[in-house]
């Protein structure tokens, strides 16, 4: 395991230099899709794939696949796939995504060193734009690979400056051909940092995910009337921001009750707030709210969205405010395949570590892939549960243990 840890650490630390942040508490990076940092990270990955004897392909939306076909394997057999992503959120950490990509590569190296008698090829995958930091809402590469979004639609997505994905990928040399088809994989496993504290609190080495929470994004536009902050009496105001605060607090209270009475895994967040005209001496005339709702059952999500809609109608009734609510983004909860969960648990037993069964509150490419093939998700512990932050950290020993479990599960699946 010392060789595994040494190689994995070298790869992750090298990848962390692409888009590295200076003068931060921790080890941060910003590597948005299509940027120079993302290009450099991709190029190094391709080189590392080739060094390990993997055949590399890049599809039309930039998803990179390295395929290892052991001498014992049937090249035409459906492969077992693993991987994650190399793009980051702005000012993110160094493990979120790269651990799954380079952990997958290291798992292949482990299997190569063990000279396993495998019947299937193994693919290591780096999906494009998992985070949604520049184009779309996230899970982009895996959505194309599962035919939820077609290639042309994906390539036409634009960033805030009006640059589309196709132009960005061509600029960095990663606008490939064809489409990765995840339905052709016999199974998929992803290694990821937990981004929570369950494993740390239970002092467990790895987590085997049973269900990934679904996600709904709602956007509310509140329209009142901008007016002078000094000369407009309080009883004649149409203050869109005050109305928005009612909705925010209503939702928070409703979700807390929902957690206590119906579903302990439910969460809702108002994470975006745009105020216009956004001046200290002007009553806000318009406000836009972005709301994220998640849980492991669709019924729970629908209940919380209905609560949000009720709050909007109450605001319209009690204040001179108009509210428009749209719901453009829905990803349903997904249950992981028993076959993949069992492979991960068996591999954990073989290593002699505890594998905790748990749900994932964060979205991952796995939830998209699980719609077209058997899929599993393995968690490594996160120190203090911090993620999407330069202070994100997973101890190297924990990374190594998780990769060893991943290698065992991939080997088991590829041997059948």
Whether 205 and 221 map to the same domain: the answer is no
| Residue where one domain finishes, among candidates 268, 300, 331 | 331
133, with CB counted inside 10 A (0-12, 13-18, 19+), is: buried
| Residue where one domain finishes, among candidates 311, 331, 351 | 331
Whether 281 and 371 map to the same domain: the answer is no
Q: Are strands 374-380 and 187-193 parallel, antiparallel or unpaired?
A: parallel
Strand extents, DSSP E, 122-247: 122-127, 187-193, 206-212, 214-223, 227-228
Nearest to 365 by CA among 79, 100, 186, 105: 100
**Secondary structure percentages of the chain, helix, strand, coil, to 5:** 40, 25, 40
Whether 189 and 83 map to the same domain: the answer is yes
Question: At what angle are helices 98-114 and 2-15 packed, to 10 degrees?
Answer: 150
Whether 309 and 353 map to the same domain: the answer is no
- Give the span between the Cα atoms of 129 and 61, in whole angstroms: 9
| Structural domains counted in the chain | 2
CATH number at residue 312: 3.30.70.360
| Residue where one domain finishes, among candidates 331, 351, 385 | 331
| Terminal-residue alpha carbon distance, the chain | 25
Whether 362 and 275 map to the same domain: the answer is no
Cα-Cα-Cα-Cα torsion 112, 115, 118, 120, nearest 10 degrees, comes to 30
Q: What is the 3-state secondary structure (H, E, C) of 129-162?
A: CCCCCCCCCCCHHHHHHCCCCCHHHHHCCECCCC
Whether 208 and 220 map to the same domain: the answer is no
Whether 257 and 327 map to the same domain: the answer is yes
- Give the span between the Cα atoms of 53 and 51, in whole angstroms: 5
Whether 323 and 353 map to the same domain: the answer is no
Find the domain containing 236 and state its range: 214-331
Whether 274 and 371 map to the same domain: the answer is no
Query: pLDDT truncated to tens, each residue of the chain (416 aa)?
Result: 788 999 999 999 999 999 999 989 999 999 999 999 999 999 999 999 999 999 999 999 999 999 999 999 999 999 999 999 999 999 999 999 999 999 999 999 999 999 889 999 999 999 999 999 999 889 999 999 999 999 999 999 999 999 999 999 999 999 999 999 999 999 999 999 999 999 999 999 999 999 999 999 999 999 999 999 999 999 999 999 999 999 999 999 999 999 999 999 999 999 999 999 999 999 999 999 999 999 999 999 999 999 999 999 999 999 999 999 999 988 899 999 999 999 999 999 999 999 999 999 998 999 999 999 999 999 999 999 999 999 999 999 999 999 999 999 999 999 99
Whether 278 and 292 map to the same domain: the answer is yes
């Amino acid at each position: 395991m010392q060789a595994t840890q040494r190689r994995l650490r070298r790869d992750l630390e090298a990848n962390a230099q692409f888009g590295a942040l200076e003068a931060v508490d921790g080890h941060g990076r910003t590597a948005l899709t299509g940027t120079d940092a993302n290009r450099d990270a991709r190029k190094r990955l391709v080189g590392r794939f080739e060094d390990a004897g993997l055949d590399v392909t890049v599809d039309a939306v930039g998803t990179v696949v390295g395929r290892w076909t052991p001498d014992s394997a049937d090249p035409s057999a459906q492969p077992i796939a693993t991987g994650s992503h190399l793009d980051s959120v702005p000012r993110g950490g160094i493990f979120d995504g790269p651990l799954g990509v380079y952990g997958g590569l290291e798992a292949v190296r482990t299997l190569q060193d063990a000279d396993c008698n495998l019947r299937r090829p193994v693919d290591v995958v780096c999906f494009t734009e998992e985070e949604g930091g520049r184009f779309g809402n996230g899970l982009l590469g895996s959505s194309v690979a599962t035919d939820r979004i077609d290639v042309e639609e994906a390539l036409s997505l634009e960033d805030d400056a009006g640059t589309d994905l196709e132009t960005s990928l061509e600029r960095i040399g990663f606008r490939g051909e064809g489409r990765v088809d995840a339905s052709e994989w016999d199974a998929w496993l992803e290694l990821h940092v937990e981004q929570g504290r369950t494993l740390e609190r239970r002092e467990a080495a790895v987590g085997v995910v049973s269900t990934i929470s679904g996600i709904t994004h709602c956007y509310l536009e509140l329209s009142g009337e901008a007016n002078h902050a000094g000369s407009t009496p309080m009883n004649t105001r149409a203050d869109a921001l005050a109305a928005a605060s009612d909705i925010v607090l209503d939702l928070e209270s409703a979700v807390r009750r929902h957690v206590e009475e119906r579903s302990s895994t439910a969460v809702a967040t108002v994470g975006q707030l745009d105020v216009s005209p956004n001046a200290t001496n002007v009553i806000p005339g318009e406000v836009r709210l972005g709301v994220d709702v998640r849980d492991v059952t669709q019924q729970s999500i629908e209940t919380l969205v209905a609560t949000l809609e009720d709050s909007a109608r109450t605001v319209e009734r009690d204040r001179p405010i108009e509210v428009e609510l749209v719901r453009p983004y829905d990803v349903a909860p997904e249950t992981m395949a028993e076959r993949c969960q069992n492979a991960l648990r068996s591999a954990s037993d073989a290593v002699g570590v505890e594998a905790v069964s748990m749900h994932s509150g964060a979205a991952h490419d796995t939830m998209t892939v699980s719609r077209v093939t058997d899929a599993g998700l393995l968690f490594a512990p996160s120190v203090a549960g911090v993620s999407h932050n330069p202070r994100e950290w997973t101890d190297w020993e924990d990374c190594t243990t998780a990769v060893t479990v991943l290698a065992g599960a991939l080997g088991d699946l590829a041997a059948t």
